[in-house]
Structure 1
Amino acid sequence: MHKHILPFKDLSLAQKMMYLYVMIVFVPMILMSTFYIRTLSKRLHEQYCLAKHEMLSQSTNAIENNLSQVRFCTHSFQYNTNLMRYVEHYDFSSADGAEMWIKYVRPAFYQLYVMNPEFKNICIWRKDSKKLNDAHSVLNAQDNPYLDYIEPMSYKTMQLLFEDEDEDNETICKIFNILVDVNHFHKIGYVEVDCSFAFLFQPLNFVSSGELLLLSYHDTVYQVSADENGKVHLLPYSGDSSQYKNSISSRLNLLDMELYYYYPDFVILSNLTIFPILIGMILLLALFSFAYYLFYHYIVKRITNLTSHMLNAREDPLLPCPSDASPDEIGTMTNVYNEMTARINQLIAEIIQKEHLANQAQYYAMQSQIHPHFLYNTLENIDMLIEVGENQKASQMIALFGKILRYNISRARQLSTIGEETGHIEDYIKLYSFRMREDFSYQIEMEPGCSDIRCPYCMLQPIVENSFKHGFRQEDRELWIHLKVYSQEDYVLIEIEDNGSGITPKRLKQVRKTLQNGNSSAAASASIGLENVNDRIVLLCGSDCGLFVESLDPGLKITVKLKNPILKKELCNVKDEYFNCG
């Protein structure tokens, strides 16, 4: 048989594809229009029911995972001893209570809000009322009318209340957990976590037209439906579910809630006898087996070998394909590819050797210029505060200084994100503001979607430091710094403005020339930090990016222009460990 098939190898690729089209597509279409498959109906129905059951089971597990986030909030409070002491014994009426709220309560709530942005409200309702509470965190249980509807529950279970739709047309889920004292002897209040029904029960969005999903909770039945955007909604239900032939149920143990899923039968046409089905299956199997042998042995296998080598070239050195002596187009492509790989490997080796040595040395040299100057000045300021007895301010400065050092020194990567940079620069401004008057202010605005864009590490600090060192000297008016981040086409722009003393036209011209051409002379030493940042941005983003300086009346505006995505692909691909492009 193999001798009769050999001439097929010598056909052109177009002839082979036409031949296989007739064998694989045209003939099977005629056969499949003649024979109808009936024996698969039962198996398809079983798989259909199994898929429905698995879908409900997975959705139940996903909801349990969402509820575990709520449980985590309760555990975070429960195992915070100082917070429990505050809930049980303190409020704002005493200095100790106010201090505990600032040190322990507020940070705990802030951390949970940051970790769970989907939660609309997190609060504690204390059992024993206090006179003076904060407005949002720890409140008196007697002021919450919803607690009247809470049934007795254990420490391991939750209570759920549904609130009417808010201004966003969303049903709010109020979830309550018991909070006990630090010794776990008695109940001291409740933890309330509010979230949207769409968030908590979003895994139930698989319900389609002709199906019914019911939620039974405390003798009340609700219907869960999904709109055209896949968002789930909670509706009252008073209908009859007996019209559905298939049903399954699942239980949410944390809420003591039952889910009932009703769906119709799997419909499949079936009126053929078993004999024509068997004949059709045998003929199709034989035809497809023969066609597959031809297609795989003479086309697919050869193309797959060539493609796998090409795909490996993304990460590994280019390797030549096994030699293919066939005269058709695939053999020609293989031979040409092997000739190209030899030449490309030679060029890549030369480029890597040249570029990574130059770029590594230049990048590390520029980055290392930033740290010592800021370090010495900050330590001197802390020393001065301690000498004049301002120990509290000195302590605050040390805390901020520690955060900044962790960012500046402890990073293993040379790249950051804009969100991390703005957070770092806010700590830097707070640290520097200790040296300013009380009317000093700052503002940071960021367009959604910009925080995760990568950028050169520690690029904003020298710009803001320039405002403090040169712009705010001998100024009697109220001073401020504004930072704004937004995207524009393929770029990300970061604008830093201040209302300081500004810059003279002559000096502005010198700075712009330094940023454009580079200048290491003594005249440009005052702008070496800006030149450093500009050179790093240009190195990673290209010559159309960098720093752009404008004079305001009063003040100065510096715009940072970055590419989005931030890095040049050719620099990232030279060697990941040198630039940490990720």
Structure 2
Amino acid sequence: MVNKLTIKPFLTRLFEKSIVKKMVIGYFIIIVIPILTSGYFLYKQLSEDMFKELAGDRQEILQQNFNHLEREMIKIEALYQSLQFHSNITDYLQGFYKNDSDSVYHYIKNIKPLLSLIHLESPYVESLRIYSADPDIHFIYPFINPMEMLDISAEAVDAIPPGKGSWKIAGADKENLPVLKYYQHLYNSMYTNSIGVMEVEVKDSLLDYVITIAGKNNFFAIRHGKNIIFHHDESGESNNKINMTAENVDYRESGSDYLGESNTIVNYLYFDRLDLQFLSVEGTESIFSNFKDKRNFLIGTIILLLLLLSAVYSVFAYSFTRRVLKLAKYMRTVDGNNLKQYPGVIQQDEIGYLTASYNVMIRRIDELLTKIQQEERLRKEAQYLALQSQINPHFIYNTLETIRMLAEVNGCGKVSEISYYFGKIMRYSLSSGGSKASLREEVEQVRDFLKIHEIRIGQRFSFAIKTKANIHDFPCPRFLLQPIVENSIIHGVAKRRIPGKVTMVIRETKTQMQVIVKDNGIGIPENRLQQIKTMFLCSEKPAELNNSIALYNINERLKFFYGREADIALYSKYNYGTVCILRLKKPEEHGSGRGKECAKEVDDNENSRS
């Protein structure tokens, strides 16, 4: 629980940092620290395995050297046979030669050549002496000596087992090499009594050759696991370290080990002929004194390489983060009064895609804000015009009604009829119904408008309105249809010399209400028609198509009122006429049933005022 509470604030502070700091911290956490940690532990493991393998190799060499020592000691023990079975020596020790001259004669003739041969065949024999048990014989120093001159005590002599020898360590101390001596009883010809003791002293070179494997750094011999009999130290190791090493080694065991805590290689071997355990202790620093410089060079190279890789990583990371930071810095300057797109170079990668998407978003937001401002301006203008047109409307209505009544009284039917339809149009225009009306009201208003033109132009113009849908309560903006019909008359029918005709058909589908306005006028040239269609698609106000302002406004009002699904379709052929289709989205609550309006069709020549 404590770890979670500690880590959570750290992660929170980390995530709040900038992207550059996150990448730097992440690089050290994910790459640098794991590499250094794993490299350190790998180095430790490899070093430990290498030192253990080295300790095993040194152990084999140490064993070979002690095998050599054992072979030489066996050769030295075999000298006993040469003396015991030499009759001249046994006779001499038993006192067969009564005078000194005979003793000297037999010594020179028979015994001295044997001694010379022994020294010649045994290079590690320092001296060979015999200590006689008979004090009355003639002693020839230093080969034949009295028993009193023997270095070991009488108890040690008696402890030598019959038929076997005994190795003794003489002159042993903790600084100099010990002196190895071999003792064995010589018996009379009947093997009933001991007539003397053979002593063979071994040269120092034999033991010195054995411990050469340890490099004479720290080699010592112990007995019974704690008594240090011999200690040769050239490495300066402390006595405490040596004692600790000796205590960790099992007595009468042989083997090798690497002590990682003290960086020490230990080789130990029990030699039963001397009842000693020999130990070689050496620090790894002294073994790899030359390797230490190479190791430091290798570590420095790895660190330098890691720094170089870090620099390369920083260059790549900076090339990545620089673009992100520039984009983020530019985005902080964007507000409602500054919607400029990012001006930098956009590359073909993920960041470039993000930048391009940002520019598209800014451009779209700017377009929407501009459109909203235009619609707000149009709405205010419409409100102003509506307010201006509502100045005393009853006075206008009364005046038109007076004109109509006077025309009827004086028999002017045409004037009376035009006044009637013009009054209806003015009443619809000046009414305070807001900007929303029903499609039925719009159709009635268009019918009144067309009747005035039919009366004005006469036989050269006709119209028809066919309703095949329920338009009674279908909502639509006011003055939606009149501009289209007016365009058909002014820019279409009026420009041809043949009788003109305007037809309006209203039909419905499951999702749409369609208003089709068709005329047989002059039509629209192909290039101009394509420009108008492009205007519908892009919803951009035409700069040069002055005659298309009405269509542009109707298209914008449709999308504002019904949504993006409403649109205008325009088809035209020059000298044949034009068809304009308004596709209006039906509201969900509007039904598809047909009322009385659905069955009503107004003929081209309808003159009724009802």
Structure of higher CA gyration radius: 2
Q: Report the TM-score, using the length of structure 1 for normalisation.
A: 0.33
Structure number with the bigger relative contact order (C-alpha 8 A, sep ≥ 6) is 1
